[in-house]
Structure 1
Amino acid sequence: MSYIDGFVIACPKANKEKFIAHAKLGDSVFMDLGALRVVECWGDDVQKGHTTDFRMAVKAEADEEVLFSWIEWPDKATRDAAFAKMTEWMEDPSKADPRMDPEKNPMPFDGKRMIFGGFAPVLDLKA
């Protein structure tokens, strides 16, 4: 069964087009490293919760929208190999893929408020 990396981000609404451009360039790296699919979703119906919600989780400001994204990998081993490669790039930026260069492809959001994690599917229903 596949392996999923999930992300929740707060991004300024004014940066929507910048985010899309950033994702198109940066996400192509994940595809080249073996991802099967990358999905980027811009908040459309993100409700306020009573105890917690997506907006609170990423401390979204009034001028920001919540984004929900995921990367589907064929398996955890492929994902781990991709992350090892990206860690290698962080340790030696001269070897990094230029699409991941923050000067050439800056994040149009506050990465410190991004929530992310890896998930092993336990159920996968398809039509």
Structure 2
Amino acid sequence: MTQYIDGFVLPVPRNQLERYREVVEKVAEIWKEHGALDYSEYVGDDLSLEGTRSFTDVTNAKKDEAIIFGWVVFESREARDLANERVAADPRMADLINPLTHTTRPIFDAERMVYGGFRSFVQSSSQSAV
């Protein structure tokens, strides 16, 4: 199966992580209702490797910010495009996203978010023997 993913990286103030999680748990369900096969977000733990540029550098993260790395999996690019349209039109998203970006102290700065859509290139997984 040729899947398609949207990937993203963004800094979130550490003191806002729980609030961010509460919103994202609802956002993930909306994405899945509109066609996402999977929605995952992880918080950075080990973000430096000598000789490489880190997510911290790319997002210009401050010391009091955590790095979130996430992706949304779709059946195809066409399914992703349709889901994007539906999510953008879903009134629940506006209510959820407003607290993230339009308060006096936003949870994250969307202009520092790194984003892209990706088609399958190489996939390798291990299967445990039963």
Pick the TM interval, shorter chain: 0.7 to 0.9
CA contact (8 A) 2:38 2:72 kept: yes
CA pair 75-43 structure 1, distance change in 2 beyond 3 A: same
Contact 1:9 1:115 in 2 (8 A): yes
| Letter aligned with residue 97 of structure 1 | P
Give the TM-score normalised by the residue count of structure 1: 0.84
**3-state SS, counterpart of residue 45 of structure 1:** coil
Shift of 1:50: 4.9
Q: Encode CA deviations 1:63-88: one digit per residue, 9 max, x unaligned.
A: 0011100001011110011122344x
> Are residues 9 and 32 of structure 1, via their aligned partners in 2, closer, same or farther at CA, if it must alter by over 3 Å?
same
Q: Is the 8 A contact 1:3 1:76 kept in 2?
A: yes
1:116 corresponds to 2:115: yes
Letter in 2 for 1:99: M
For the 8 Å contact 2:14–2:64, the answer to whether it is kept is yes
Residue of structure 1 equivalent to 2:45: 44
Structure 1 residue identity aligned to 2:94: M
Runs of 4+ in 1 over 6 A off after TM superposition: none
Deviations 1:38-69 (A, max 9, x none): 11000111116556221111110010011100
Q: What is the TM-score when the length of structure 2 is the normalising length?
A: 0.82
Contact 2:87 2:93 in 1 (8 A): no
Report if aligned partners of 2:59, 2:112 keep a CA contact under 8 Å in 1: yes
Provide the C-alpha distance between the structure 1 equivalents of 2:87 and 2:35, rounded to a whole number of angstroms.
13
User: Cα RMSD (Å) of the superposition?
Assistant: 1.7
Deviates most, 4-13 or 25-34: 25-34
Segments of structure 2 that go 5 or more residues without pairing to the other structure are 102-106
Please state how far the C-alpha of 1:30 moved relative to its aligned partner. 0.9
2:94 match: 100
Quote the Cα distance in structure 2 between the aligned partners of 1:51 and 1:21. Answer: 32
Equivalent pair of 1:48/1:55 in contact (CA under 8 Å): no
Q: Is the 8 A contact 2:30 2:87 kept in 1?
A: no
Name the SS for the 1:119 alignment partner: strand
